[in-house]
Amino acid sequence: MPYLVASDLATESAGRRFRKLLEQPGILHLPGAHNGMSALQARAAGFQGLYLSGAAMTASMGLPDLGIITVDEVSFFIRQIVRAAQLPLLVDADTGYGEALNVMHATRVFEDAGAGALHLEDQILPKKCGHLNDKKIADAHDMAAKVAAAAQARRDLVIIARTDAAANEGLDSAVARAKLYMQAGADAIFPEALNTAEMFRAFADRMPGVPLLANMTEFGKTPFFTASEFEAMGYAMVIWPVSSLRVANKAQADLYAAIARDGGAHKMVDRMQTRAELYDTIGLHDYEALDASIVKTIIPAGMPQQKIVR
């Protein structure tokens, strides 16, 4: 149904709804959604929560993932995804857009925009995708201060602390940082760019009772694992951050190549979402029915007609 109808909107905060998802048995599947349409399609596939990737956001804007977009730009993505799908959303907050006060501001803005959770990472600017080389890692206590600032600013938002230290400083450092971030107020931990099943298991074994997030990105350092395999390793959540964008971008590139080659898109029609499928996904007919019902409600039958005075 259209998001405009109040009865179709959640009465509980997104943060509380995200926490309830975490409390359910089994690993929480959080596919990346880079816009409202992809969010609707993910919901239609049966997912209960979504992930908004910084890499997917920036790439969809034609920019690299170097921490150069602003809080307001991210909020635009949050609002459209939450409005479209009405699902709890985990948001990539990069390094927090500055220091402690900036982190507090971002936390409030994201929660007001409808986010259910965010994650902060312990890199310094210019930050990089976690699966690239030569990442610069922040001082652990500086990162802990950011986590504490986010925890102080949030109402119900779930705070996940990401550590990129495994690649630069080793697993022992990543675990020590994770424990410090939990003490600072994090609700869960995201160990980024682990590259073997043994590393995933070892990290989980040393963080008993802590909800852990696994990142199943393509073309990175992490081998392909399924959600059930991550669950068996001790992880509570898994994200596929940029998958939807990569598939969409590849399809668009093929389309433009076909138009340039063939003088039109006629040879690509069998790969297109049909008009009926598009309207069904965005709920066009539900909106039309809502519009008609409001007209009938505002102008009830049987009311006397106003006389025209000439």
Average confidence (pLDDT) over 157-178:
95
Active site residue 92: yes
Q: How far apart are CA 12 and CA 302, in angstroms?
A: 40
Active site residue 121: yes
Whether 143 contacts 181, CB under 8 Å: yes
Active site residue 134: no
Active site residue 231: no
Active site residue 16: no
- Distant-in-sequence contacts of 255-258, Cβ < 8 A, 24+ apart: none
Point out the catalytic residue in the list 17, 34, 43, 162.
162
* Cis peptide leading into residue 126 (ω within 30°): yes
Domain ranges of the chain: 13-243, 250-298
Question: Poorest-confidence range of 26-30, 231-235, 257-261, 303-307?
Answer: 303-307
- SS3 string, 144-168, reads HHHHHHHHHHCCCCEEEEEECHHHH
pTM value > 0.75: yes
Closest to 186 measured CA to CA, from 177, 194, 195:
177
- Phi-psi region at 306: left, alpha or beta (left = phi > 0; alpha = psi -120 to 50): beta
Supply the CATH classification number for the domain 13-243.
3.20.20.60
Sheet holding 89-92, edge to edge: 50-52, 89-92, 117-121, 158-163, 188-191
Q: What percent of the chain has pLDDT over 90?
A: 80
Active site residue 133: no
Active site residue 162: yes
Active site residue 164: no
Active site residue 129: yes
Point out the catalytic residue in the list 177, 192, 231, 235.
192
> Token pair for residue 63?
């920019």
pLDDT of residue 295: 63
Q: Average per-residue pLDDT in the chain? A: 91
Point out the catalytic residue in the list 34, 43, 94, 231.
94
The pLDDT tens digits of the residues spanning 150-163 come to: 999 999 999 999 99
pLDDT of residue 306: 52
Task: Return the DSSP state at 26.
Answer: S
In terms of DSSP H, where are the helices of 234-283?
243-262, 275-282
Active site residue 65: yes
Q: How far apart are CA 204 and CA 309, in angstroms?
A: 80
Q: How far apart are CA 310 and CA 308, in angstroms?
A: 6
Whether 61 contacts 53, CB under 8 Å: no
The tally of CA atoms less than 13 A away on the side-chain side of residue 91 is 35
What φ, ψ does residue 266 adopt, rounded to 5°?
Answer: -65, -25
Closest to 248 measured CA to CA, from 28, 64, 39, 91:
39
Q: Which band of pLDDT confidence, cut at 50, 70 and 90, is reported for residue 77?
A: very high
Does residue 300 carry a pLDDT above 60? no
Burial of residue 54, with CB atoms counted within 10 A of its CB: 0-12 exposed, 13-18 middle, 19 or more buried: buried
What φ, ψ does residue 119 adopt, rounded to 5°?
Answer: -125, 140
The pLDDT tens digits of the residues spanning 113-133 come to: 999 999 999 988 666 565 556
Point out the catalytic residue in the list 17, 35, 129, 131.
129
